[in-house]
């Protein structure tokens, strides 16, 4: 098992950053002998998910001390040079036949063996994403099955035996508190499909957040589409929410219209208006947006959008597209690793210029960082600015 803290310097090596980007682009194959039963049990609670919002089709793992979600199920992963094999009880990462080093797979969370008084397994209510307890509180979206459906999204793929379609505030409060106490969860991430064309589900998710906050006291990020009335943001804040994710997905309007017609109705400027108010309510760095790379976008528009967002205090959570089986983009190719690396480099510089920092995030995707390699570049930027502070950037495990 690697000493994670002592690896913090190595994390800044060019080879390590290339490794992270390639793993996220190519995915990882898992050899049969690797024991995923620790985390992926017969009853169905997965260490990797095949659908839903959030890190779908991803295996959670630590690579050189850095938390990562890595594609595992998609067809293109079969061509990945990376494979996890097991030897003597240690999980090892290979690139071809070359040993990269040991990796750590998360242990099966203790809450996955628990259920509510009326018999609902906790893992159908929320899942542990490394050290964040996360739930898609309503597993449906008004766009699903219509021309407005987002092509990359799998929200209604995970239903039936894998989850319950609507989680109640009381259920979420119970599970999140148990995750805090038994599995060391440090924050809560709640997301939802778009439930209507008014508040988009922000008010229901806030009721859930209020119950979770009262029971657990954990920092909470909630994610929703721009509401029609921006006063909804004040109600979200009053519920005790610490941070919000309002996800534009791409700053290229032509791509947005093609792959997310429902979201495109709000338009790029609609997102900026919403973020402006959200930053006033929640503060700089407490508002994030996903920015997906690899959907045919003009890179200059992405950089321009990220620059504008960071200047207003919005953290652009840049991630490579993960074509998820069952979605409308399941046959898309993941983006080129060099392209992703170049965007991490430029966007991390913008984040630093704007005085933002993922280590200041209280909750949600910017705090966790496992779906993006951006934080590795942020650390590099900091180290270049001040080599003496490198030790500060030791990673969580
Ligand atoms: S708005 Fe798009 S990404 Fe969000 S749940 Fe609906 S279809 Fe999925």
For 101-124, the pLDDT digits (tens) are: 899 888 889 999 999 998 999 999
Q: Whose CA is nearest to atom 8 of ligand 1?
A: 153
Question: Does the pLDDT at position 155 exceed 70?
Answer: yes
- Report the distance separating Cα 383 and Cα 393, nearest Å: 9
Residue 141, ligand 1, Cβ within 6 A: yes
Q: How far is the CA of 1 from the centre of ligand 1 (A)?
A: 39
Q: Which of the four pLDDT bands, split at 50, 70 and 90, describes residue 57?
A: low
Judged against a pLDDT cut of 60, whether residue 38 lies above it is answered with no
Among 51, 194, 227, name the best residue to mutate to test ligand 1's pocket (greatest count of ligand atoms within 8 A of Cβ): 194
| Ligand 1 neighbourhood includes 138 CB (under 6 angstroms) | no
pLDDT bracket for residue 55 (50, 70, 90): very low
Tell me the two tokens of residue 79: 């061509």
Q: What is the pLDDT of residues 295-347, one digit of tens each?
A: 999 999 999 999 999 999 999 999 999 888 889 999 998 899 999 999 999 99
155 Cβ inside 6 Å of ligand 1: yes
Name the residue of 54, 150, 250, 290 whose CB sits within 8 Å of the most ligand 1 atoms, as the mutation to test its pocket. 150
C-beta separation of 334 from 25 below 8 A: yes
> 376: Cβ below 6 Å to ligand 1?
no
pTM: 0.87
DSSP label of 78: G
Write out the CATH class of domain 110-393: alpha beta
Ligand 1, closest atom to CA 148?
7
Output the residue whose Cα is nearest ligand 1's atom 5. Answer: 193
Atom of ligand 1 nearest to the CA of 142: 6
Confidence tier at 34 by pLDDT (50, 70, 90): confident
Ligand 1 probe mutation, 149, 152, 249, 289, most atoms within 8 A of CB: 149
Report which ligand 1 atom has the smallest distance to the Cα of 152. Answer: 3
Q: Is the CB of 150 within 6 Å of ligand 1?
A: yes
Task: Give yes or no for residue 177 having a pLDDT over 70.
Answer: yes
Residue 185 has pLDDT above 70, yes or no: yes
Give first-to-last CA distance, the chain, whole Å.
Answer: 12
Q: Ligand 1 mean position to 141 CA, how many Å? A: 6
Alpha carbon of 327 to ligand 1 centroid (Å): 11
Q: Is the CB of 194 under 6 A from ligand 1?
A: yes
* pLDDT tops 70 at residue 194: yes
251 within ligand 1 shell (Cβ under 6 A): no
Distance 263 CA to ligand 1 centre (A): 8
List the domain boundaries for the chain.
5-104, 110-393
The runs of H, that is alpha helices, within 266-313 are 267-282, 299-312
Q: How far is the CA of 143 from the centre of ligand 1 (A)?
A: 7
Per-residue b or e along 234-258, where b marks 16 or more CB atoms closer than 10 Å to that residue's CB: ebbbebbbbbbbbbbbbbbbebbee
Q: Collapsing DSSP states into helix, strand and coil, what is residue 9? A: coil
Given a cut of 50, whether residue 10 has pLDDT beyond it is no
pLDDT band at 218 (very low <50, low <70, confident <90, very high): very high
Give CA–CA dist 21/27, Å, rounded: 10
Residue from 136, 141, 365 to probe ligand 1 pocket by mutation (most atoms less than 8 Å from CB): 141
Burial 74-91 (b: 16+ CB within 10 A, else e): bebbeebebbbbeeeeeb
Q: How far is the CA of 371 from the centre of ligand 1 (A)?
A: 18
Confidence band, pLDDT 50/70/90 cuts, at residue 382: low
349 CA to middle of ligand 1, Å?
29
Cα of 150 vs centre of ligand 1, distance in Å, is 6
Model pLDDT, residue 7? 39
The C-alpha atoms of residue 308 and residue 15 are separated, in whole angstroms, by 31
**pLDDT mean over 168-174:** 97
pLDDT at 167 over 60: yes
């Amino acid at each position: 098992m690697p000493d994670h803290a002592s690896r913090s310097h190595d994390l800044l090596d060019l080879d390590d950053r290339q490794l992270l980007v390639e793993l996220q682009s190519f995915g990882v194959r898992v050899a049969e002998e690797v024991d995923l039963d620790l985390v992926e049990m017969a009853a169905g609670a997965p260490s990797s998910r095949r659908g839903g919002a959030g890190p779908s089709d991803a295996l959670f793992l630590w690579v050189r001390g850095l938390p990562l979600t890595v594609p595992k199920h998609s067809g293109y992963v079969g061509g990945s040079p990376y494979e996890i094999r097991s030897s003597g009880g240690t999980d090892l990462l290979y690139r071809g036949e070359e040993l990269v080093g040991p990796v750590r797979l998360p242990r099966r969370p203790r809450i996955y063996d628990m259920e509510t008084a009326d018999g609902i397994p906790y893992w159908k209510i929320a899942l542990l994403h490394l050290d964040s307890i996360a739930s898609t509180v309503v597993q449906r979206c008004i766009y699903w099955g219509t021309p407005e459906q987002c092509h990359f999204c799998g929200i209604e793929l995970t239903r039936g035996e894998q989850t319950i379609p609507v989680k109640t505030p009381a259920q979420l409060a119970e599970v999140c508190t148990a995750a805090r106490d038994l599995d060391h969860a440090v924050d809560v991430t709640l997301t939802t499909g778009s439930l209507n064309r008014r508040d988009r589900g922000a008010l229901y998710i806030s009721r859930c957040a209020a119950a979770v906050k009262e029971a657990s006291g954990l920092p909470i990020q909630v994610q929703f589409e721009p509401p029609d009335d921006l006063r909804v943001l004040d109600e979200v804040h009053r519920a005790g929410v610490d941070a919000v994710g309002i996800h534009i997905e791409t700053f290229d309007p032509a791509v947005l219209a093609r792959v997310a017609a429902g979201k495109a109705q709000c338009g790029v400027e609609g997102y900026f208006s919403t973020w402006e108010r959200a930053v006033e309510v929640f503060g700089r760095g407490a508002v994030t947006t996903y920015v997906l790379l690899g959907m045919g976008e003009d890179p200059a528009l992405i950089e321009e959008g990220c620059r504008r967002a960071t200047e207003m205090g919005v953290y652009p959570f840049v991630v490579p597209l993960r074509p998820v089986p069952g979605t409308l983009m399941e046959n898309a190719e993941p983006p080129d690793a060099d392209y992703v690396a170049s965007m991490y480099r430029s966007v991390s510089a913008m984040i630093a210029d704007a005085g933002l920092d993922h280590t200041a995030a209280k909750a949600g995707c910017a705090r966790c960082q496992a779906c993006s390699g951006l934080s590795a570049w942020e650390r590099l930027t900091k180290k270049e600015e001040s080599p003496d502070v490198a030790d500060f950037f030791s990673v969580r495990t």
